[in-house]
Amino acid sequence: MSASEYVPEDADLETLRIAAGKCHGCDLYREATQTVFGAGPAAARVVMVGEQPGDREDVVGSPFVGPAGRLLNRALAEAGIERDAVYLTNAVKHFKFVERGKRRIHQQPGRSEITACRPWLAAELAEIDPELVVCLGAVAAQSVIAPSFRVSRERGQVVALETCRAVATVHPSAVLRAPDRDAAYAEFLADLRTARAVMS
């Protein structure tokens, strides 16, 4: 299964977004509320890629509007990266979760879901043609850079891709969960400053 048969060719971002709303490229559309497509300017020089929408994003329909997004906003401001100039998206466009009572608990997407959803991310990147892609967490890095990429070892390094460069860091949710949150935040900020320097 894959999103590829749902992705229109040579489409602008708005057309892609509408088409993604009807994607059945894997099973995640069944339980989720809606597709959460990327958001931001088509002329963005930087694309930031998360893992998948969270509980809040699934309800609202936009990426990074929950707790992880608030932490990201703060770090972007501190790193001197203008949030509104960034195109924000996710490696997987539907929320994957299990229900525990009234709560919906995030589940990491598997290799097959990441691969199935990749055509949407590829289409976004082809349309935007950014200078830099910032991968937020392992799922994004594995989708954008390479399945063998290890964020723990290779975070903060500038990687050359075919048409642009990439930097990976941890996911902002990992900063929120870290035992030493201040230290994790400082490292996250340092990686974003590296990204900022690449953009010059």
Q: Which residues of 126-147 are buried (b: 16+ CB within 10 A; e: fewer)?
A: ebbebebbbbbbbbbbbbbbee
Q: Say how far apart CA 126 and CA 77 lie, in whole Å.
A: 27
Burial class (CB in 10 A: 0-12, 13-18, 19+), 67: middle
Task: List binders of ligand URA among 105-164 (CB under 6 A).
Answer: none
Nearest to 172 by CA among 93, 79, 103, 85: 79
Amino acid at position 120, single letter: W
53 lies in the site for ligand URA, by CB under 6 A: yes
Of the candidate spans 1-9, 27-35, 61-69, 75-83, the one that interacts with ligand URA by CB under 6 A turns out to be 61-69
94 lies in the site for ligand SF4, by CB under 6 A: yes
Instruction: Report yes or no: 175 and 191 within 8 Å, Cβ to Cβ.
Output: no
Length of the chain measured in residues? 200
Task: List binders of ligand SF4 among 28-47 (CB under 6 A).
Answer: 28-29, 35
Q: Which of 13, 16, 17, 25 lies at the binding interface for ligand SF4 (CB under 6 A)?
A: 25
20 lies in the site for ligand SF4, by CB under 6 A: yes
Q: Say how far apart CA 11 and CA 33 lie, in whole Å.
A: 24
40 lies in the site for ligand URA, by CB under 6 A: no
Q: Which of 63, 109, 119, 130 lies at the binding interface for ligand URA (CB under 6 A)?
A: 63
Toward ligand SF4, which CB reaches closer, 93 or 171? 93
Residue ranges binding ligand URA (CB under 6 A) = 50-54, 57, 63-64, 66, 68-69, 90, 171, 173
Residue ranges binding ligand SF4 (CB under 6 A) = 3, 20, 23-26, 28-29, 35, 92-94, 113, 116-117, 120
